[in-house]
């Protein structure tokens, strides 16, 4: 199945499951589980704004760093710039935080509500250059389901 078809299935499953009646933390958790089911990446999860830093939220994959400063890593940059960042080769990204030494590329997408970034989605791949504009487009669209 090609990537676009996977995203279509991923989105319809999310749409059916995500409900504004549920606590957001529960929906973030199920988002990770559904993403894992369709894409089987090395790591998928959220970092959440908490006071003056980003803290580890729901995820699927190996254990990860529990706190990230705004000035650190791809997550910090995505938070500060409030935009999606695609890193084709994490080893060439200055300041990249290697929670897992096995990751070779990643995408970080901010969740923005009322003009403020309140969380970040981070997807890590074992492959180099795994993410492109298609991932950005579909992930940004899927994440709007969580902005309630």
Between 14 and 74, name the residue whose CB sits nearer to ligand SME. Answer: 74
Cβ neighbors of 44 (< 8 A, separation 6 or more) are: 32, 35, 36, 59, 60, 61, 121, 122, 123, 124
Question: What six digits make up the tokens of 82?
Answer: 């409030």
Q: Is 68 in the site for ligand SME (CB under 6 A)?
A: yes
Q: Are 64 and 99 in contact (CB under 8 A)?
A: yes
Q: Is 58 in the site for ligand SME (CB under 6 A)?
A: no
Q: Is 75 in the site for ligand SME (CB under 6 A)?
A: yes
* Alpha-carbon span 141 to 148, nearest angstrom: 14
Segment 87-146, which members bind ligand SME (CB under 6 A)?
96-97, 99, 103, 106, 122, 124
* Alpha-carbon span 72 to 91, nearest angstrom: 15
Q: How far is the CB of 71 from ligand SME (least distance, A)?
A: 11
Q: Is 41 in the site for ligand SME (CB under 6 A)?
A: no
Place of tokens 């200055």: 94
Instruction: List strands edge to edge, sheet with 43-50.
Output: 67-68, 53-60, 43-50, 116-125, 105-113, 85-87
Q: Is 65 in the site for ligand SME (CB under 6 A)?
A: yes
Place of tokens 């995408």: 107
Which stretch, 18-26, 66-74, 109-117, 140-148, contacts ligand SME (CB under 6 A)? 66-74
Which stretch, 5-13, 17-25, 71-79, 132-140, contacts ligand SME (CB under 6 A)? 71-79
Q: Which residues bind ligand SME (CB under 6 A)?
A: 43, 64-65, 68, 73-75, 96-97, 99, 103, 106, 122, 124
């Amino acid at each position: 199945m090609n990537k676009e078809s996977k995203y279509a299935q991923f989105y319809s499953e999310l749409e059916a499951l995500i409900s504004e009646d549920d606590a957001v933390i529960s929906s973030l958790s199920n988002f990770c589980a559904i993403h894992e089911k369709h894409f089987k990446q090395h790591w998928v999860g959220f970092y959440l704004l908490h006071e003056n830093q980003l803290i580890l939220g729901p995820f699927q994959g190996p254990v990860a760093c529990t706190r990230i400063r705004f000035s650190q890593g791809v997550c910090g940059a995505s938070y500060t710039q409030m935009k999606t960042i695609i890193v084709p080769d994490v080893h060439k990204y200055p300041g990249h935080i290697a929670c897992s030494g096995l990751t070779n590329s990643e995408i970080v997408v901010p969740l923005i509500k009322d003009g403020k970034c309140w969380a970040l989605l981070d997807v890590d791949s074992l492959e180099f250059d795994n993410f492109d504009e298609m991932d950005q487009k579909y992930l940004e669209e899927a994440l709007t389901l969580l902005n309630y």
